[in-house]
Amino acid sequence: MPRSIWKGAISFGLISIPIKVYGATEQKDISFRQVHPADGGRIKYKRVCEVCSQEIPFAEIAKGYETPDGRMAILEKQDFEDLPLRSTKAVDVVQFVDADEVDPTYISSTYFLEADGPGAKPYVLLRDALVQSGRVAIVKVALRSRETLAMIRAKDDLLLMHTILWPDELRDGQFAAPAEDVSVSDAEITMAGSFIDALSGPFEPEQFHDAYREALETLVEAKLSGSAMVAQEEDTGASADVVDLVAALRASVEAAKKRRAEASGEQAAPAAPAEPAEEEDEAPARKTPTRTTAKKTTAKKTAAKKTTAAKTTTARKTPAKKAS
């Protein structure tokens, strides 16, 4: 069981809910040591004061804030604990909002909330009330010596708390938006919708895995055992220079249906062709005159010539009758 990182209470009106806070996520990435490649020795760093050149133990290091004019304000652990904030030991509910009103972009970290001591009943009361109302609680809390906004929501039998970034911590992303003169056709949107339909389904996180981490683990095992790493086929993927979006999307739909069919053992149905774009009416093209009559006349003349030549040859070969 993990250790709690914070202990306090949820202030729910006049009701106080004692809780313990646990980290809900953990990093599964492979960590590496910095080493000397010649002998494998680990590279170590020393915390040295630039003024007195002495190595300072981590427990004796304080936090300092340097002002633009070069002055230094030194803050110690007790200074943070004595901050006049209500949220240092309490999760203060400030508002209830609809669950879909919170933009996921603002969510930073996730925590489990556990009822502590006599807090089980008010814990269940808040949890069930949130479920029936379809809302989440917006709260203020101080975690790791820093006050932050957070959202408390019910999930199954638990209360989860998601810390939320402050509005000024979210960058303006308008610089990344495409140019206003870029447009797509109805046929392209229709085919894109077909691709979305081909890959639609319930979200099941269990079916996804970290292929990069698995490849790193295999590489490490190969290094330790001294065996050669099996080369993987390179996936070139689709070309970035796409000219015909409809054709590319149609091929993507076919590939997606084929993958799903192979997984389920069924035969993939062909993708529906995109409707052609509407064109302006044009004048009917001039008909090219047929040459059938001319060809027939030429054939008749050729046949007549051949017949005449044949008669002439026959006449020459027939001997003349003697006069009696």
How far from the centroid of its chain's Cα atoms is residue 2's Cα? Answer: 30
Tokens linked to 24: 């809900």
Of the chain, the percentage scoring pLDDT greater than 90 comes to 31
What is the DSSP secondary structure assignment for residue 70, as one 8-state letter? S
Whether residue 152 contacts residue 10, with contact meaning beta carbons closer than 8 Å, is answered with yes
Tokens linked to 191: 């085919």
Which domains are assigned to the chain?
6-26+87-169 (2.40.290.10), 184-199+244-273 (no CATH)
Tokens linked to 255: 């590939």
Residue 130 CB coordination number (10 Å): 19
pLDDT (tens digit, 9 = 90+) per residue, 167-219?
Answer: 999 899 888 888 888 888 898 898 888 888 888 888 887 888 878 788 888 88
**What's the whole-model pTM score?**
0.62
Residue type, 230: V
Chain position carrying tokens 């004692």: 18
Angstrom distance (rounded) from CA 138 to CA 155: 16
Cα distances (angstroms) measured from residue 141 to each of 85, 151, 166, 216 = 9, 10, 13, 38
pLDDT at 316: 43
Residue of 314 and 250 predicted with greater confidence:
250
Kindly tell me if the per-residue pLDDT of 308 is higher than 60: no
